Structure 1
Amino acid sequence: MSFVVTGGGRGVGRGIVARLLADGATVVVIERDPEAVAWVPEHPEADRLVALVGDAADEGVAARAADLAERAGPLIGWVNNAAVFRDASVHDAPVGEVVDLITRNLRPAVVGAATAVRRFLAAGTGGAVVNVSSHQASRPVPGCLPYATAKAAVEGLTRALAVQYGRHGIRANAVALGSVATERHEAFLAGQEPDRVRRIEAELAQLHPVGRIGQPQDVAEAVAYLLSPAASFINGVTLPVDGGRAALGLDPQAH
């Protein structure tokens, strides 16, 4: 069995890759940045790990990833995790820039889903798509307009895929993440003064009822479940993987 994970070189994506490898699968990782997959050749499971450098929004790259996955075994799952974290506000940025940023987050999910669905239909064996979304799809925070808009669209795409292709044995689900400890998060904290770091960590713990932010493996476990036969009757859902952040609903900017 084989999977494709976009943005699988770092953070949440890399955690998902590690979890799928642990199940004995072959995983094809799509990454734009060659440095993000520099670890692949030295990985203990390198014989079941393929790095493809390219843009997940490029249909040719996605098709190549699917070819590589199918060469190793039946393609049974696709994880759309690649994202762009940049902001632009409609009051002071050109509309074209805002739309471009929305597209840069939405297009990789559409391209990945389309590639996966076509391969699943051609194989006649079905499969699963998992889209990585965010709590911001339903509860945006200031300063993230393009990202929040794109993630809301990704969740709509998930439901539409589920309805249209469920009869073909193709399931589509999403995970909506809270804050997760990734390299990007650690780099942000590294640029802060120690007192500021302590305040940020305390605020993040308050936002998540479990008292901490997530780890990539927390997300990976949920994604692996949604991809698995154990979730065969779960289709079209957006599963919060956020330690209860969405249920609590605190506004991080309220103070």
Structure 2
Amino acid sequence: MPSARAPRSVVVTGGGRGVGRAVVERLLRDGARVVAIELDAAALDWLADHPAAVAVIGSASSDAVTEEAADRAERAAPLTGWVNNAAVFRDASVHTASAAEVLDLVHANLAPAVVGATTAVRRFLAAGTAGAVVNVSSHQAQRAVPGCTPYVTAKAAIEGLTRALAVEYGPRGVRVNTVALGSIATERYEAFLDGLGGAGAAQVEDEMRRIHPLGRVGTAAEVAAVIAHLLSDDAAYVTGATVPVDGGRSVLARDPEAHEA
């Protein structure tokens, strides 16, 4: 049931599928007006059933696209939040790819967060109101996975961006935080399992149970709940933080000397 709080609007990048869609759905349930940025127009067809949501089609790394999203959000209600969720899941290794290719992939994942945060901060300051930005990172920012150099590098930079913006704009009422995700059961994850076949998928799922202390991968709705909290007044004294939403994956040390519980 929508809350009785004052009208507000939030922009969510990459809002068509997976975590982004879950965030949009959660914010709509909480009574917010939501503008979803998505590169793939078909991914936002489901918004037709949600009159409080608006679709903006284009790249979240484009200033023109983020400015359009901010304009449309402000027309609906005061802009109070921005979620930088858009990402590119493509990687390379420096022994097989050129430095230019690696840098292009780093840029593809870092630019949407920088552009989105830039638009959000400027709009908050121009309006003279408080606002909150939530960036989406990964456990890989701290615990690198082989073969994922551009993604790891970009996510580590996003966490640094979060801290820098938090200290620079906190005095002006802008909070900036990050959620660092473990493995989440999205369409992409399910497609990965399907591509492995029955035995391969079972092996991966068993490994996922062992590397997440909670014994399972997370759900997009669980991520959305944390993001919604960080955007809310209930998190009014939280800024510059990277919050793990990973079922304990980032704190587990698998070791041959471990004792069974």
| Range into which the TM-score falls when normalised by the shorter chain | over 0.9
Determine which of 184, 189, 210 is the counterpart of 1:185: 189
* 2:215 equivalent in structure 1: 211
Aligned CA distance change for structure 1 residues 232 and 145 (closer, same or farther; 3 Å)? same
* Cα displacement string for residues 36-80 of structure 1 (whole angstroms, at most 9, x for unaligned residues): 112111x2xx21011111000000000000000000000000000
> Pairwise mapping of residues 55-134 of structure 1 onto structure 2 (< 5 A)?
55-134=59-138
| One-letter amino acid of the structure 1 residue matched with residue 87 of structure 2 | A
* 1:231 equivalent in structure 2: 235
TM-score normalized with structure 2 length? 0.94
Offset, 1:190: 1.2
Question: 2: CA distance between counterparts of 1:124 and 1:250?
Answer: 48
| One-letter amino acid of the structure 1 residue matched with residue 72 of structure 2 | L
Query: Number of paired residues?
Result: 248
Cα RMSD over matched residues?
0.9
| One-letter amino acid of the structure 1 residue matched with residue 101 of structure 2 | E
Matched, 1:169 2:176: no
Which secondary structure does the structure 1 equivalent of 2:19 belong to? helix
Determine which of 19, 22, 40 is the counterpart of 1:33: 40
* Cα displacement string for residues 179-219 of structure 1 (whole angstroms, at most 9, x for unaligned residues): 00000011111112211111111101111100100000110
* 1:159 equivalent in structure 2: 163
Offset, 1:249: 3.9
Question: 2: CA distance between counterparts of 1:249 and 1:242?
Answer: 14
Which secondary structure does the structure 1 equivalent of 2:152 belong to? helix
Q: Identify unmatched segments of 5+ residues in structure 2.
A: 1-7, 256-261
Aligned CA distance change for structure 1 residues 96 and 226 (closer, same or farther; 3 Å)? same
Task: Provide runs of 4+ in structure 1 moved above 2 Å.
Answer: none
Which secondary structure does the structure 2 equivalent of 1:191 belong to? helix
TM-score normalized with structure 1 length? 0.96
Question: 1: CA distance between counterparts of 2:254 and 2:102?
Answer: 27
Which secondary structure does the structure 1 equivalent of 2:209 belong to? helix
Offset, 1:250: 4.3
* Cα displacement string for residues 154-179 of structure 1 (whole angstroms, at most 9, x for unaligned residues): 00000000000000000000000000
Question: 2: CA distance between counterparts of 1:175 and 1:246?
Answer: 12
Question: 2: CA distance between counterparts of 1:249 and 1:97?
Answer: 33
Q: Identify unmatched segments of 5+ residues in structure 1.
A: none
Identity %: 62
